[in-house]
Amino acid sequence: MWRKRRLFRVAMLSTFAVVVIYYTTSQLRTIQKWRNRRKVGSAPRWEPVVLMNELQYVGTERDEDAFVRHAFNLSSSNLLPSDRALPDTRHTRCHDPSNYGELPLETTSVIVAFHNEARSALLRTVISVLNRTPSDLVEEVILLDDCSDNEEDGALLSSLPKVRVIRNQAREGLVRSRILGALEARGDFLMFLDSHCEVNVGWLEPLLERVTQNPQTVASPVIDVIDMDTFQYRPTSSQLKGGFDWSLHFKWVPLSHKQREQQTNPAEPFLSPAVAGGLFLVSRNWFRMLGMFDSGLHIWGGESLEISLKSWLCGGKVEVVPCSRVGHVFRRRHPYTFPRGNANTYLRNSKRVAEVWLGDHKRFFYEAQPNARMMDAGSLQEQHEVKSQLDCKPFQWYLENIFPELKLPNEENSAFGQLRQGSLCLQSVEESSAIKLAECSESEPSQHSWAFSVHTASIQHRKLCLTVHDRAKCPVLETCTQSYQQKWSRHGRAVVLLSSGQCLESGTTSEVRLSECRRGAVSQQWDFTVELQAQDDHPVNIT
C-alpha cells in the first residue's frame, strides 16, 4: 500500500517537473524570439564601411570622351566618394518604421552581376548596400564578375564585409550570371541589383515586408535616376507600373484609374504587370520553384519580362513598393560587346519569352517583330516543363486581369498582318507611295503591319492609307485623310473601294489595280494574317 502511494507521488512530482520545465523553456524561447525581433528601420549594426585604399582602387582615370567606355560619364562617377549622401526621395509616410510591422529573421543575399563595370560605380553599389541596410538583414553581397577584362575589379572588393566575389571564366551574360549567383546564395531572399546602383535609406525593409507577407511576391523598388552625365540622384515618379508593348520592349505605364481609386496613399505598394527594371527582391525558394530565369537567354534582355510573366501566370504576383528607393544609372546604349550581335540577341531572347508565355498571342509579337519569325531560338523544352509542372494560367488571363492596358494591336481593326493572295503579299515600295505584289516573306518588314478597320473603313500600312485617286487604276499609299478615296469594305474575301464598288485585283506582273468585281475570281481574293472579327462569311482564325 505504502509502496503504491510512493509510486503515485513520484509520478505526480515528475509530471509536475516536466510541465514546469516545458513552460520555462517555452517562455525562454519567446523571450529570445522577442529579443531577436528586428524592427524595421533600425540603424545599421556596424560603422559605415570605408574602403581604406578607395582612391587606389578607383584610380584617377579621366576619359578624353567620358562616355566611351561605360556609356556614362566616368569622370563624374570617379569624383564621387563611395559613401556619398543621397536625398531621401521617399514619401513622408515611409519615414516611420512602425509602418512596416515586424520583420522575419531570414536574411537576404544581394546579387550583383557585372561585366567591365566602372570601379567607382561598382564600389558605390556595394558600399551603399553595406551602409544603408541593417547588417543582420544581409546574408552576403555576391559580386558575380562576368569575366570582366580585369579580374581585380571584383577581387579587390572581396575584403569588404559580407562580400563574396565569384568569377565566370567565360562570359555568360547577365542572365546566367544571375542564375549562378542565385545558386550560390545562402540567404532566404534574393535581391538583384545592377552594378551601377545606389540603394537609398530604408530600401530593403519595405520590400522584405511584402515578400514575407506573401512569399510568392516579386517586389521591386521605385528606381530613381542617377544622371548618366552628372551623377546627380533624382527622384522618379513612384506611381508607375512596369509594362511592355507587343515588341516585348519594357515601358512604364501609369496606374489605372481603378488602382488610383483603391489606393489610400501614394506610399502603398501596388500590383504591376512587370518588374520595373531588373531590380527586385524574391524569396529564394519561390525563385527556384519558378525555374529561376530561363538559362537560354543570352547576354542581356528578356529576363525581367520572363520572370514577371512567369510569376503572374504561375501563381505569384509582382509589386512595386514606393517606400523602397534604389538609384540606377540609366544609359542610352550597352557599353559591352554582344558576341552574337546586339539586336539579334535581344530579339532572340524576346522570341523565347513570347514562344513560352504568350500562347496564341505570340502572333502579335511576330507582327511587331517580323524578323523574329525566322530566328532559331533554341530548345524551349525546359521552359515548357516549368509551365506545365506549375500549371500556369494562359496569357489571356493576364491580359484580362493584370495588364488590360496592353491592347490588341489596333483594337479597332478587324484584321491585320500581311495582306496576301496565295503566296504573294502586298508590299510597300521603299521611299515611294507605290505598292506591289511580291513573294511573301516573313522577314520583309514592308509586307507586315497592314490593317483593315471596319470602324474607319480604311486599309492602313503603318501610318499611311491605301488610296485610289479619281480616274487612277492603281492604289497608292498616302497620308490618311478620311476621304472617300480611302474608304474600303470587305465582302467575303474581296476588298472593295466603296465609292466605285470596284475590287482590288492582282495583275499579271507585280501590279495591283482596281477592276470590276467578279464573284469567285481568284485574283480578287485577299486574306489578312490575323482576323479579329468575322467578315460576312469570312472564317475567323483567331480565338
CA distance 421 to 505: 10
DSSP lists the bridge partners of residue 496 as: 489, 503
| Nearer to ligand UDP (CB atom), residue 167 or residue 513 | 167
Select from Mn ion, ligand UDP, none the partner in contact with residue 269, using the beta carbon and a kind-dependent cut-off of 5 to 8 Å: none
Taking CB under 6 A as the binding criterion, the range among 23-31, 113-121, 254-262, 346-354 that sits at the site for ligand UDP is 113-121
Asked whether the CA dihedral 440, 442, 446, 448 is positive or negative, the reply is: positive
**Intra-chain end-to-end CA distance of the chain, in Å:** 88
Task: Output the smallest distance, CB 239 to ligand UDP, in A.
Answer: 21
Q: Which of 140, 146, 224, 505 binds ligand UDP (CB under 6 A)?
A: 146
Q: Which of 300, 452, 526, 528 binds ligand UDP (CB under 6 A)?
A: 300
Taking CB under 6 A as the binding criterion, the range among 168-176, 308-316, 463-471, 480-488 that sits at the site for ligand UDP is 168-176
Q: Which of 113, 297, 323, 530 binds ligand UDP (CB under 6 A)?
A: 113
Question: In this structure, are strands 502-506 and 280-283 parallel, antiparallel, or unpaired?
Answer: unpaired
H or E stretch at 203: none
Select from ligand UDP, Mn ion, none the partner in contact with residue 146, using the beta carbon and a kind-dependent cut-off of 5 to 8 Å: ligand UDP
**Helix/strand/coil percentages in the chain, nearest 5:** 30, 25, 45
Cell numbers for 347, please give them: 530579339
H or E stretch at 162: none
Task: Output the smallest distance, CB 196 to Mn ion, in A.
Answer: 6
Task: Output the smallest distance, CB 331 to Mn ion, in A.
Answer: 7
Q: How many residues bind ligand UDP (CB under 6 A)?
A: 17
Cell numbers for 397, please give them: 488571363
User: What is the number of alpha carbons within 13 Å of residue 223 lying toward its C-beta?
Assistant: 21
CA distance 51 to 366: 50
Task: Output the smallest distance, CB 405 to ligand UDP, in A.
Answer: 22
Q: Which of 195, 311, 349, 447 binds ligand UDP (CB under 6 A)?
A: 195
Select from ligand UDP, Mn ion, none the partner in contact with residue 38, using the beta carbon and a kind-dependent cut-off of 5 to 8 Å: none
Task: Output the smallest distance, CB 313 to ligand UDP, in A.
Answer: 23
CA distance 37 to 476: 73
Taking CB under 6 A as the binding criterion, the range among 49-57, 172-180, 230-238, 479-487 that sits at the site for ligand UDP is 172-180
Residue with cell 567620358: 66
H-type alpha helices, 66-146: 74-79, 119-132
Question: In this structure, are strands 138-145 and 163-167 parallel, antiparallel, or unpaired?
Answer: parallel
Q: Is residue 226 packed enough to be buried (19+ CB in 10 Å), middle (13-18) or exposed (0-12)? A: buried
| Nearer to Mn ion (CB atom), residue 327 or residue 409 | 327
Q: Angle at Cα 186 formed by Cα 329 and Cα 26, nearest 5°?
A: 125
H-type alpha helices, 162-227: 173-184, 204-213
Select from ligand UDP, Mn ion, none the partner in contact with residue 113, using the beta carbon and a kind-dependent cut-off of 5 to 8 Å: ligand UDP
| Nearer to Mn ion (CB atom), residue 197 or residue 290 | 197
Q: Is 115 in the site for ligand UDP (CB under 6 A)?
A: yes
Here's the x/- map for ligand UDP, 246-285, by CB under 6 A: it reads as --------------------------------x-------
Other residues' Cβ atoms within 10 Å of the Cβ of residue 173: 25
Q: Is 114 in the site for ligand UDP (CB under 6 A)?
A: yes
| Nearer to Mn ion (CB atom), residue 194 or residue 505 | 194
* 328-347 positions binding ligand UDP, by CB under 6 A: 331, 334, 336
Q: Which of 77, 89, 109, 177 binds ligand UDP (CB under 6 A)?
A: 177
Select from Mn ion, ligand UDP, none the partner in contact with residue 195, using the beta carbon and a kind-dependent cut-off of 5 to 8 Å: ligand UDP
Q: How many residues does the chain have?
A: 543
| Nearer to ligand UDP (CB atom), residue 269 or residue 277 | 277
Q: Are 433 and 478 in contact (CB under 8 A)?
A: yes
Q: Report which residue's Cβ sits closest to Mn ion.
A: 194
Q: Which of 102, 311, 138 is nearest to 219 (CA)?
A: 311
Interacting residues with Mn ion (CB under 5 A): 194
Site residues, ligand UDP (CB under 6 A) = 113-115, 117, 146, 171, 173-174, 177, 194-195, 278, 299-300, 331, 334, 336
